[in-house]
Structures are given as structure tokens and as C-alpha cells.
Amino acid sequence: MVRLQDDFYEAINGEWEKTAVIPNDKPRTGGFSDLSDEIEQWLISQTSRWQQGDDLPENTILQNFVAYHRLTSDTQTRDQLGAKPILPLIAKYQSYTSFSEFANHIVELEKSGFPNALPLGIEPDFKDARTNVLWAGALSLLLPDTTYYEKGHAQGQVLLGKFREEQEALLPHFGFSQSETTKLIDQYLALDARAAAVVLSQEESHEYAKLYHPYDWNKFTSLVPELPLDDILTELVGQKPDTVIVPEERFWAVAEQFYSEEAWPLLKAYLIVQAANQFTGYLSEELRVLGGQYQRELTGLPEAMGTEKAAVYLAVQPFNQAIGYYYAQKKFSPEAKADVEDKVASMIDVFKQRLQSNQWLNEETRIKAVTKLNTIVPHIGYPEKLPQRLYKKVVNSDASLFETATQFRQIEIEHAWSKWHQPVDRSEWHMPAHLVNAYYDPQQNQIVFPAAILQAPFYSLEQSSSANYGGIGAVIAHEISHAFDTNGASFDEFGSLNNWWTDDDFAAFQLRTEKVVKQFDGLDSYGAKVNGKLTVSENVADLGGLAAALAAAKRDDGFSAVDFFESWAAIWRMKARPEYMQLLAASDPHGPAKLRVNVQVKNFDEFFETFDVNPTDEMWLSQDERVQIW
């Protein structure tokens, strides 16, 4: 049996892991996943009853969800149609004889939600978080990160081979011969390789403050003279923009490699392959399963999601917020909402006290930090209102599944472009209430806790107060800490990019965060190496969250450090497929679950005292190597 003093995570979770079974259509199981699986079963059961005409919802949005679910569940019709619903779309791309002809149809394709290789969108301005502006991204890569394309990468070439195998099986269903299929794949991968040479790596893309590069519109359009951006944006937002934010400067500096007559043969193939792949979930069962093969290879899944479950998830996508709201009304009581709101207020108060007593910040910075903390807006359980555009998603009895899905995409895309130069809607949530997750939004200075995560094992009245603080308390404080992590620290109380630190204080902060980078960097995770810089913001938030939650737990009578630390270890229990863990190590800003437990607890004196950890034990970390920030 593993000793707590040698591997804390394993000692708490080892017995569970021996019998835990990963579902064949999932990459992992564990604390978060078990709860998600319970919600999934509720969702499947509830939607099945609706399909049978039982307990039908009165809400008009959910009534349209039920109607849409009938379309996604009609596998007989879907199997009969096969690939037919998207053959006209593929023919459209095939009909374009030049880049200029395609470029004249980009707006039409964009408004319908069809592939168009235009990585532009509307997001809040970093310098004025109250207003939405135009951002220019880059093409997405096939592999998880730019590092996978480096010579000698162990998985890169293997995964490219797996993608080729998938496409060789899939593309002939859309009428392509073997030679045409091979050529399409070759050209697709050629354009993908061009993108991989210039786009941001995962590590780079998670350093938010370094992404803000405003360009004068005329300067930006001069980078890509063959792409009629003036006309495109005038059609999309009503006029030419003055500026655009360009985080992907390297990509746009060589934009002619993607948007030109020279690049057109590669781009045309890229669009055709995307069109064939993007919509397989709406087609026959055979094509749905074939279309997900590459993703299953990435995460190590032995089988595809079952037909019934896939139909539910497909139907939920355009109605996500409404389903979440319904779940919260059924499962999250007003009493629980009030109790969690009190806990959030308590955690903010603890965090404030810790900031006010901080010894390494100067008074000037400390006051500004407290000001930012005081303006954090918490959202608990579910949003106060649903987005109005959900009411526009009406199922026409004469329309097919693909036609209806296209109509729903058009509604979302119209809404997305309508936000240009409009005030940011700070009431809209970025995840539904039935999702087991939480987030901090640095540009809105908000913390959001969906109802799904506000239950066991994170929070339960049957657990001790200390266990709840080690669970949901640490999660709440983690999100608060994001306001002061390596990304959040660059944004002020209004959510705008603004240096509110003195130079000395920010230098002291960077020294501490660099120690966190070193604690994680290069550690093994299923044969992959953890990137300390990629994971630093989440690790800093974990560290601050644990510190604040521990301080809060100590306030209560009957405080138990054992309950606190063991609860922290238990919520992160996870059994996962090696392929999935290797993928996370390359692309996920969160550290691996086991390391989030074992590395973090070693920064707390209370851990060593509680479990009698000594210098000869594996869990030992000398006093001078322990890190505390918040």
C-alpha cells in the first residue's frame, strides 16, 4: 500500500483507481467525469421521456429542442440520405475556379456557417473591455500544437498517418475517387504544414497580454491584397473597420501563403475536406462514426459514442443554455444557491484579508489589488435570463436536419457579427449550467459557477466543513485567484489590459511565478513532459485557491486539515487513457490531475505537519523551495 508521505494522490485515490472503469466512449473517468456522467444519464433519460410525449416542457425554446431532437434521432432518414445533404455544398467549392471567385463568396459561406478559412471574429477589446472589436486569428491546426510538427516528434507523424487513414475511408463516400482522395489529403496537409510554421503555439497563445497587437485597418489589408477584406467586412458589419487586433502576427505577415491565387489549389482542397468532415455528425450513422475516427485516435477512445447519446448531444448543441437552465431549476434549489453565494462572499473576504496582510506587495499595488477584488462579480448556479436569440431557433416541420442545423448556425453567426462596436453583454454566460466546470473571465472580472459543479464530491452538506473547503472552497478560490494569475494580473478591475502594478511588485510577482513554472516544468505525465510555462496560470490559481480555502477552513470550529487535504486529492482523482493525457500535456493549460494534487500540497507547511512528512519521504519539499503567492 502506498504511503501518504510518499505519494499523497495515490494513497487517497489508489484503491478507487484499481476498480474504476473508463467508459469506452470516454477518455477518462474520475471526480469531474463521474459527476458529468451522472448528468449525462439524467439528460438522456429526460430527453427520452420528452420524445415519448411524457412531462413535455411548457417553455417554447425547449419545445423546439424536443422537435429538433426528433430530427437528430431519426436515424432511418439519416441513413437513407447518407452523404446527400452536403453534396451540394461540396459541389459549390468544386465549382470555384479561382481564388478571386471564392473570395467573392466568403460572406455567403460565413453567414451560413460553412467553411471559408476566414479567421476573423468579434471579441472584447483588451484595452476597453466594455466594447467589442474585430480580432484576426489564424487557421486551426490538425495536430494539437505546433510542437507536433517538429522533426522527430514521436506522435506527430503517427497522427498525420491516422488522419490520412480516416480521410481515405471517408472521402470516397462523397464521390471522390482514390486518386482524387489522395490528392485532396496531400493538398490539405500541405496547407496545414504552412500554417503550423507560423501560427502561435499553445504556450504562446496562453500569454494573453502578449496577444494585443492593434493594426490600422489599411495596414492590415495591405498584408493580404488578394483578399477583398474591405468588401467582406462592409457586408458583415456595415462599414470598413478602423482597426483590427492581430494576435497572430506571424500568420498575417505571410498571408499570401493562404489567400492568393498561388495558394488556391491547396486552399480549395482544404475547404473541401473541411466541408466533408465538419458535418458528418448530421449524416448517416456510418459517416458519423467514420468522421470521428481521428479524434478517437487523439484521445485513445476504443469506440464511438452510441447512436442515442450522439443524437442527444447533437440536439443539445444549439440549445445548450436552455438545457442548462432547465437542469438548474430541477436540481439546484434556491437554498443551495443562497448557501453557495455566502461561501463565495466568504472566500472573497478571506482573499481580501490575505491581500491586505500581504508582505511582499507595496501599499500602492495592494490597494489596487483589493479594488479589483471588490469589483469581481460572481454568478452562481444559472444565468438570470436566457439569450433572446434562442427564441429564434424554431423547427420547421418541412425542413431537414441539415437545413435546420444550418438555420440555427446562421442565427448564432448573425448574433456574433452584430456585436461589433456594441457594449459587451456582461450577463451572458460562456458555459451552460449543466456543465461540471467553472471559470473566471479576466475581461469581465467575473467568476462563474454553474449548478453542475456545486454538488458532491465538490460540495455536500453531508461532508465536513473542512472537506467542503478542500473541494468547492478551493475551486471557488481558484477562480478568484485567476484575477491575479500570470494572465489576470495584466487586467484591471474593469477587465481592461492595464498595468496596475509598481515595477518592483511585478518583478517580485514574476520571481514567484517562475518558481511555480519550475515546480511543474518537465515532470512526467504518461510519458509526456509537462510544460511549466503553458500551465503556469492555472497552477498559480490552484496555489492561491488552496491557500485562501485553507485560511477559510481554519475559521470554522472543528477544522480538520486531514479532511481539507484529502478532499482536495479526491476531487482530482482521474483514471485516463495515455493518449488523452499526452494530448493534455501538449495543449492543456491545466496541469495533470495527479500533479495538481501532489505538487501543490507540498507548498503548505500544514500538509507536512498534518501527515508527518519528513525529509526522507517522497512528498518532502524543503522549506526554501515551497512557494506562496496569494
Q: What is the pLDDT of residues 407-424, one digit of tens each?
A: 999 999 999 999 999 999
Domain finish residue from 250, 282, 314: 282
Residues recognised as catalytic:
479, 542
Range of the domain at 443: 333-387+428-625
How does strand 528-529 pair with strand 524-525? antiparallel
> Which pLDDT band holds residue 478 (cuts at 50, 70, 90)?
very high
Residue 107: CATH number of its domain: 1.10.1380.10
- What are the DSSP calls for 470-511, one per residue? IIIIHHHHHHHHGGGSTTGGGB-TTS-B---S-HHHHHHHHH
Q: Are residues 491 and 617 in the same domain?
A: yes
Q: What is the pLDDT of residues 393-406, one digit of tens each?
A: 999 999 999 999 99
Residue 213 has pLDDT above 90, yes or no: yes
Decide if 422 is inside a domain. Answer: no
Neighbours of 393 (CB within 10 A): 19
Q: What is the pLDDT of residues 355-387, one digit of tens each?
A: 999 999 999 999 999 999 999 999 999 999 999
Rounded mean pLDDT of 156-162? 95
Q: What is the mean pLDDT of the chain?
A: 95
Decide if 3 is inside a domain. Answer: no
Decide if 400 is inside a domain. Answer: no
Domain finish residue from 266, 282, 298: 282
Q: Rounded CA gap, 159 and 292, in Å? A: 14
In 206-301 the beta strands, taken as DSSP E runs, fall at: 214-216, 243-245
Decide if 266 is inside a domain. Answer: yes
Q: Are residues 339 and 216 in the same domain?
A: no
Lowest mean pLDDT among 229-233, 295-299, 454-458, 600-604: 454-458
Cβ neighbours of residue 309 closer than 8 Å, sequence gap 6 or more: 25, 40, 44
pTM across the whole model? 0.93
Residue 359: CATH number of its domain: 3.40.390.10
- Residue-level pLDDT at 461: 79
Q: Are residues 154 and 221 in the same domain?
A: yes
Residue 340 has pLDDT above 90, yes or no: no
Place of cell 478602423: 242
Please name which of 282, 224, 286, 280 lies closest in space to residue 251, comparing C-alpha atoms: 224
Cβ neighbours of residue 566 closer than 8 Å, sequence gap 6 or more: 12, 467, 470
Q: Are residues 481 and 541 in the same domain?
A: yes
Residue 232 near residue 106, CB atoms below 8 Å: yes
Domain finish residue from 247, 282, 317: 282
Decide if 311 is inside a domain. Answer: no
* Residue 457 preceded by cis peptide, ω within 30: yes
Q: Are residues 562 and 445 in the same domain?
A: yes
Q: Are residues 276 and 357 in the same domain?
A: no
- Residue-level pLDDT at 152: 86
- What are the DSSP calls for 119-158, one per residue? -EEEEE-SS-TTBEEEEE--PPPSSSSGGGGSTT-TTHHH
Rounded mean pLDDT of 303-316? 97
> Which pLDDT band holds residue 177 (cuts at 50, 70, 90)?
very high
Residues forming beta bridges with residue 405, ordered by sequence position: none
- Residue-level pLDDT at 216: 98
Residues forming beta bridges with residue 447, ordered by sequence position: 378, 440
- Residue-level pLDDT at 125: 96
Residue 432 near residue 332, CB atoms below 8 Å: no
Lowest mean pLDDT among 299-308, 333-342, 349-358: 333-342
- Residue-level pLDDT at 346: 87
Residue 430 has pLDDT above 90, yes or no: yes
At 567, list the grid cell.
Answer: 478532499
- Structural domains in the chain (count): 2
Residue 222 has pLDDT above 90, yes or no: yes
Furthest-apart CA atoms within the chain: distance in Å: 75
- Residue-level pLDDT at 355: 93
Number of helical (H) and strand (E) elements in the chain, helices listed first: 29, 11
Decide if 150 is inside a domain. Answer: yes
Decide if 13 is inside a domain. Answer: no
Residue 31 has pLDDT above 90, yes or no: no
What are the CA-CA distances from residue 399 to residues 64, 115, 404, 439, 528 (Å)? 13, 22, 6, 37, 48
- Residue-level pLDDT at 133: 97
Three-class SS of residue 392? Answer: helix
Residue 243 has pLDDT above 90, yes or no: yes
Burial of 48 (0-12, 13-18, 19+ CB in 10 A): middle
Q: Rounded CA gap, 205 and 147, in Å? A: 13
Place of cell 496555489: 543
What are the CA-CA distances from residue 18 to residues 26, 543, 607 (Å)? 18, 29, 26
Residue 288 near residue 30, CB atoms below 8 Å: no
Decide if 159 is inside a domain. Answer: yes
Would you mind telling me the total number of residues written for the chain in this entry? 630
- Residue-level pLDDT at 504: 94
